[in-house]
Amino acid sequence: MKYLNEYRDPKLARQFADEIKRITTRPHVLMEVCGGQTHAIVKFGIDELLPQEIELVHGPGCPVCVTPLELIDKAIHIASRPGVIFTSFGDMLRVPGSSQDLFSVKAQGGDIRIVYSPLDAVKIAKENPDKQVVFFAVGFETTAPANAMAVYKCKQENITNFSILVSHVLVPPAMEAILSSPSNRVQGFLAAGHVCTIMGYTEYYPLTEKYKVPIVVTGFEPLDILQGVYMCVKQLEEGRHEVENQYARSVTREGNTYAIDMIRNVFEIVERKWRGVGAIPQSGFRLTSAYAQFDAEHKFELAAIQTEESTDCISGQILQGLKKPFECPAFGSKCNPEHPLGATMVSSEGACAAYYRYRNYQKERVPA
Amino acid sequence: MNTQVKDNVTFSCPVPIQEYPHVLLAHGSGGKLMHKLIDSMFVKTFSGQTLDDCHDAAVRSFGAGNLAFTTDSYVVSPLIFPGGDIGRLAVNGTVNDLAMAGAKPLFLSVSFILEEGLSMQTLWQITRSIKDAADYAGVEIITGDTKVVDKGKGDGMFITTAGIGAVDPGVTISPRRITTGCDIIVSGDLACHGMAVMAVREGLEFESAIESDTAPLSEIVQDLLAAKVNIRCLRDLTRGGLSSALNELASSAGCSFQIDESLIPVREDVASACEMLGLDPLYVANEGRFVAIIDPADTKRCLQIMQQHKAGRMARRIGQTTQEPKGLVTLQSHIGAKRILDMLSGEQLPRIC
């Protein structure tokens, strides 16, 4: 595999930064939607190359961060039961629930396994017919096709000991929630390249029209992000508000239609709770009634578990771009990666974790 | 009777780590949680002048010279992986801990904990591999032990080795000798071991074979010492990767380590494999690489000597020590911006998407 260093070239990065500076005549607030982009911005120091007028605020696109506490508690409840193999992407295991995290459940004997794909979890289910195998299906549109495929496959092959705990959320409704908020500061978006690889970008046309904001589909490497910023700033400076595609090497207008069909076959759109933000209408997926037998919430009778979020943590405001991690009084003291108060400190894609890991020592020097 | 109970309560020490009632896997990951466990539980309890140095091997004077002593346990799944196996790791790892104290490794002990049901063929293969690795490193196995545990109570096998080496008088390699203005050198390309093991564990196939970098490092170190290269400190890169090693040293030395990402050698296929799994090669395990903190006047000679060895062929200078910010490692990124290179708290977890 090639194409890594090509997108990290320091000379080209500097040229983009100079070009952005040249066209910038006034302040602009841009939001990068995806946690992977936030991570790259802080890891490579991309924001340090930008002129002062450009402020990047970090968006809600970290799947670990927005998964409600209640779902984590449900996961812990399932994973603690005998006869269950609980499978998940690695990130989720360290997210604190109300009283403990999944790693602690594992330490107490829970059979919890990290997998790289839900199809690996299906394989585990086949190999362990006497166990119930549950996969924690979190994420945005990016992970939905593989999760849909896992359930589809189980139905085809009549595998009955597999189910998924669904916490799927969708990007466009979250962007609309941010734009429609009276306290919104965001003037332009770098949309999440991976999400658009699946979904295409036609969903964004109504948003650019209604809210008069430019939306640039953007990749994850430093040069991608700098080019995305450039395209977004250029639109703002020229008074345009269009959908543009920076990440054309991966994203097409219509997206991956096969993946979209698979999602529509298995999931339906419903209201979902977002951690720190609250309920957003039409903002997530649940399994359709045809696949209800694979829904872990039904299988394990979890409806009774209801948890309220802690009020100490400002991750909700951070996820909406209203505050920066340094503005939280608990940042770096009461809240750190060993003892996270909220999910934005836990996930490697969370804004607080990225700030802690890459620039904690600058706390005094960086304006909030 | 009552008094006795009361006394017991008064004098019993509370468990020093209150946050976690149980040991987590993360407590063995080489990150902050592991350091916290070791510092607050073991170092505090067993405290002594030699132990408190927390060096890879302990060095004590003995007769006319100095002896280095170290021990290490090996747990790896799978037991056999591309480029090595648990036996080779168990020899090279302990040899390397001795080498990092400037010692010439002499003797090893090898203890086996075998799980009921382990294939005799596998055990034989690993035994041969231990013998080969010991011969290659020029170290003699002089004692050992064997235990067998019930099926399900050991991951095939665990090995513990301890090693003794001789340190020439006048050789002092310690974090205390690190000052500002030293050069930071890494002895080779990073992350091969961790990615080789992970590829087998996860059933991943890459375009080219990634093999473990496991290798004895004592010969390189002895050559550097023979050439009178002014070595301030050495540390081998194991769990937690380059980042953990540099953070440990910066913290012990109380100065700042500044490195340049574009100078750090990582093979392109290894970098791609890391990227696919969402891992940072600077945190991935190595088993035959080390960092050397040396006097800048000797950098050129140091690199020349390292590059004559197979394990040191890709040795590079990656940065230098400076005064501020104290105790931290900062990294100049590929695109030229500066950021902190932190130690992870636990294991590096694959990202969701």
pLDDT of amino acid A249: 93
Residue A131 domain flag: yes
pLDDT score at A3? 64
Please give the average per-residue pLDDT across B17-28, as a whole number.
Answer: 80
* Statement to judge: residues B141 and B236 lie in one domain: no
Examine residue B84 and state whether it is found in any structural domain, yes or no. Answer: yes
Specify whether B147 is located in the same domain as B222: no
Which residue in A361, A363, A364 has the most chain B C-beta atoms within 10 A of its own C-beta, making it the best mutation to test that interface?
A: A361
List CB contacts of B168: < 8 A, sequence separation 6 or more.
B65, B66, B102, B104, B225
Q: Do B26 and A222 touch (CB under 8 A)?
A: no
For residue A196, is it within any domain? no
Nearest Cα of chain B lies from the Cα of A180 at a distance, in angstroms, of 28
Mean pLDDT of A40-65: 90
Q: What is the distance between the alpha carbons of residues B230 and B225, in angstroms, rounded to a whole number?
A: 8
Q: Which residues of A touch B22 (CB under 8 A)?
A: 104, 107-108
Closest residue to A4, CB basis, from B19, B20, B272: B272
Residue B87 lies in a domain: yes
pLDDT at residue A33 greater than cutoff 50: yes
CA dist list (Å): B253 to A68, B247, B294, B326, B345: 43, 10, 13, 9, 21
Average pLDDT over residues B49-57: 85
A108–B contact, CB cutoff 8 A: yes
User: Closest Cα of chain B to A344: distance in Å?
Assistant: 14
Question: What percent of chain A has pLDDT above 90?
Answer: 64
Contact list, A48 vs chain B (CB under 8 Å): 337-338
Chain centroid to CA A272: how far? 14
B194 and B289 co-located in one domain: yes
Interface size A-B, in CB pairs within 8 Å, comes to: 124
Both B117 and B237 in a single domain?
Answer: no
The domain in which residue A134 lies consists of: 65-170+260-299
Q: Is residue A154 part of a domain?
A: yes
pLDDT at residue B348, as a whole number: 78
Split at pLDDT 50, 70, 90, the class of A367 is very low
The verdict on B104 and B226 lying in the same domain is no
A91·B351 Cβ contact <8 A? yes
Q: Shortest Cα distance from B79 to chain A (angstroms)?
A: 19
Domain boundary among B167, B202, B228: B167
Show the domain range for B333.
175-340
Shortest CA gap A182–chain B (Å)? 31
Q: How far is B132 from chain A (nearest CA, A)?
A: 35
Smallest Cα distance from A239 to chain B, Å: 30
Higher pLDDT, A250 or A361: A250
Q: Are strands B157-167 and B104-115 parallel, antiparallel or unpaired?
A: antiparallel
CA distance A203 to A196: 9
Residues 6 or more apart from B231 whose CB is under 8 A from it?
Answer: B102, B173, B221, B224, B225, B292, B293, B294
Contact residues on chain B for A116, CB-CB shorter than 8 A = 202, 277, 350
Please identify, among B167, B195, B225, the residue that sits at the C-terminal boundary of a domain. B167
Residues 34-93 of A with CB under 8 A from B: 36, 42-46, 48-49, 63-64, 89-93
A292 located within any domain: yes
Say if residue B193's pLDDT is above 50: yes
CATH of the domain at B137: 3.30.1330.10
Closest alpha carbon within chain A to B32? A338
**CA distance linking residue A258 with residue A264, whole number of Å:** 10
Domain membership of residue A87 (yes or no) is yes
Give just the sign of the alpha carbon dihedral B148, B154, B156, B159: negative
Contact call for A44 and B335, based on CB within 8 A: yes
pTM: 0.85
Between CA A195 and CA B30 the distance in angstroms is 34
- Residues B269 and B199 reside in one and the same domain: yes
* pLDDT, position B11: 45
**B-side interface with A, Cβ within 8 Å?**
19-20, 22-26, 32-33, 36, 202, 207, 262, 268-269, 271-272, 275-278, 325, 328, 330, 333-340, 342, 344-347, 349-353
Name the phi and psi angles at B26, rounded to 5: -60, -25
In this predicted structure, the answer to whether residue A62 has a pLDDT above a threshold of 90 is: no
Mean per-residue pLDDT over chain B, rounded: 90
Q: Is the pLDDT at A298 greater than 60, yes or no?
A: yes
Q: B154: pLDDT confidence band, cut at 50, 70 and 90? A: very high
List pLDDT tens digits, range A319-366: 888 888 888 888 888 888 777 787 788 776 688 888 887 776 554 433
Q: Containing H/E element for A40?
A: helix A35-44
d(CA B302, CA A110): 50
* Whole-angstrom distance, CA of residue A262 vs CA of residue A351: 31
Closest CA to A196 of A33, A14, A22, A20: A33
Of B167, B200, B227, which residue constitutes the final position of a domain?
Answer: B167
Is B59 within a domain?
A: yes
Q: Is A283 among the domain residues? A: yes
Residue of A nearest to B272 (CA): A1
With respect to residue B35, please indicate whether it lies within any of the assigned structural domains.
Answer: no
Residue B52 has pLDDT above 90, yes or no: no
* CB-CB neighbors (< 8 A) of A359 in chain B: 339-340
A161 pLDDT band, cuts 50/70/90, is very high
Set of chain A residues whose Cβ sits within 8 Å of the Cβ of B351: 36, 89-91, 348-349
pLDDT of residue B12 exceeding 60: no
A5 contacts B339? CB cut-off 8 A? no
User: Residue A91 and residue B353: Cβ atoms within 8 Å?
Assistant: no
Which among A48, A142, A348 has CB closest to B349?
A: A348
Best mutation target, A34, A43, A99, A347, to test chain B (most B CBs within 10 A): A43
Beta bridge partners, B157, equal: B114
Average pLDDT over residues B13-28: 76
- Give domain status of residue B263, yes or no: yes
Task: Tell me: do B218 and B333 sit in the same domain.
Answer: yes
* Same domain, yes or no: B211 and B336: yes
Residues B198-206: contacts with CB under 8 Å, at least 24 apart: B198/B277, B199/B82, B199/B273, B200/B78, B200/B81, B200/B82, B201/B77, B201/B78, B202/A116, B202/B277, B204/B273, B204/B277, B206/B269, B206/B272, B206/B273
Residues B113, A298: Cα–Cα separation, whole Å: 44
| Whether residue B215 sits in one domain with residue B134 | no
Task: Determine the distance in angstroms separating the CA of A205 from the nearest CA of chain B, rounded to an integer.
Answer: 25
CATH of the domain at A117: 3.40.50.11740
- Taking an 8 Å cut-off on Cβ atoms, the answer to whether B337 and A36 are in contact is no
Whether B349 sits inside 8 A of A90 (CB atoms) is yes
Residue B257 and residue B306 in one domain: yes
Interface test with A, best of B24, B195, B351 (most A CBs within 10 A): B351
CA nearest neighbour of A168 among A199, A190, A193 = A199
Residue B109 β-bridge partners = B143, B162
Question: Is A14 near chain B, with CB under 8 Å?
Answer: yes
Q: Of A91-100, A104-113, B134-143, which range is least confident?
A: A91-100
Same domain? B244 vs B293: yes
Residue B4 confidence (pLDDT) above 50: no
pLDDT band at B353 (very low <50, low <70, confident <90, very high): low
Per-residue pLDDT, averaged over A126-134, amounts to 97
Instruction: Please check the confidence at residue A265 and state whether its pLDDT lies above 70.
Output: yes
Furthest-apart CA atoms within chain B: distance in Å: 72
H helix and E strand count, chain B = 10, 14
Question: What is each CA distance from A39 to A364, B8, B124, in whole angstroms?
Answer: 21, 51, 47
For residue B344, the chain A residues in CB contact (below 8 A) are: 337
Domain count, chain B: 2
Residue B183 shares a structural domain with residue B331: yes
Amino acid in the structure at residue B155: D
Q: What's the mean pLDDT in B239-252? A: 94
Q: Please check whether residue B149 is in contact with residue B113, taking contact to mean a CB–CB distance below 8 angstroms.
A: yes
Q: What is the domain count for chain A?
A: 1
